[in-house]
Amino acid sequence: MTPPHLPAADRFVLRRMNAAEQLRAGRKLRRIPQLLVGLIGYGASVMLLVTSGLGAASWSVLTEGISGSTGISFGTATNLIAVVVLVAWIPMRELPGLGTLLNVVLIGIAADATARIVPPPPDIEIRALYLVAGIVGLAFFDALYLGAQFGAGPRDGLMTGLVRLTRKPIPVIRTAIEVTVATTGWLLGGTIGIGTVLIAVTMGPLVGYFLPRVAVEIPDRTTEYPDRRPIPRRSPRIRLRRSANRAPRHSAEQAPGPTEAVSNEKPTVRKPFDEQEREGATGDTEQRLPFRASGTSDR
């Protein structure tokens, strides 16, 4: 647990929740619009980088390298990479959610819509502006949809899983992924540019800066209502059933007195064996013969 004296940006961590827990968690009136805005803005930022012509993102370089070396289409290579990354989630025990599904659907739609709206850059200055806006927007909207805490996309889930397992900060893990992916794509024949290098170097620090500041912190159940105290459970009482043949116990007040008759017959008190022997020797006790039915005689 992070010490409470640290600032909010340093204390924030993404909650690890499955899809049902993500939907049951609170603050959905803010989280759902933030998720949608983040995914749409992410797709628009990707298209800004492509339109600038100064270098694609690292994963686009890898997709291009796989497509050129294997002969499959760019879209097929994109889906293949997504499947491989999702398989890598299994040993990391990363949990998908609503954001994982919408990531596959909305980003492509937003990128195509941006391509119809944004005109091609006429000169190098506009291309550089597209590049800077695309890099900052990509990091900001990436942190925005991740901070909604509805699950990460396939590639971002690789980052969040490694952050959770290695306990390393987000800038270190994201930069390592971006550099590794871009280098692998370049070795497979992908095209890199100045924009690719800038994305690989700056994406990690930018996401690490934006994520704690735009994320929705979901309170834990133990801290959501700090005034409430857990009610201790009482141990169940074991009730012993009184036997039917067992006489009820009387308290000192309810015990019968000496003048109260309990029954018509005098109770027989069994004496110790040595006392019986002593009384029998002196003849003080009466010897009682066993009961015999009438008409019988001793033989």
pLDDT of residue 12: 53
Q: Tokens for 121? A: 């850059």
pLDDT of residue 33: 93
Those residues with Cβ within 8 angstroms of residue 256's Cβ, 6 or more apart along the chain or in another chain: 250, 262
Among 223, 199, 39, 77, which Cα is nearest to 133's?
199
d(CA 58, CA 65): 11
Q: How far apart are the first and last CA of the chain?
A: 98
Using one digit for the tens of pLDDT, what is the confidence trace for 10-66? 445 577 787 888 888 888 889 999 999 999 999 889 888 888 888 878 888 898 888
Among 153, 159, 157, 209, which Cα is nearest to 179's?
159
Using one digit for the tens of pLDDT, what is the confidence trace for 131-184? 999 999 999 999 999 999 898 888 888 888 898 888 888 889 989 999 999 999
d(CA 48, CA 144): 18
pLDDT of residue 249: 57
pLDDT of residue 110: 86
Using one digit for the tens of pLDDT, what is the confidence trace for 56-96? 788 888 988 888 888 887 767 877 888 888 888 888 888 88
pTM: 0.65
Using one digit for the tens of pLDDT, what is the confidence trace for 27-40? 888 999 999 999 99
Using one digit for the tens of pLDDT, what is the confidence trace for 205-222? 999 899 999 988 887 654
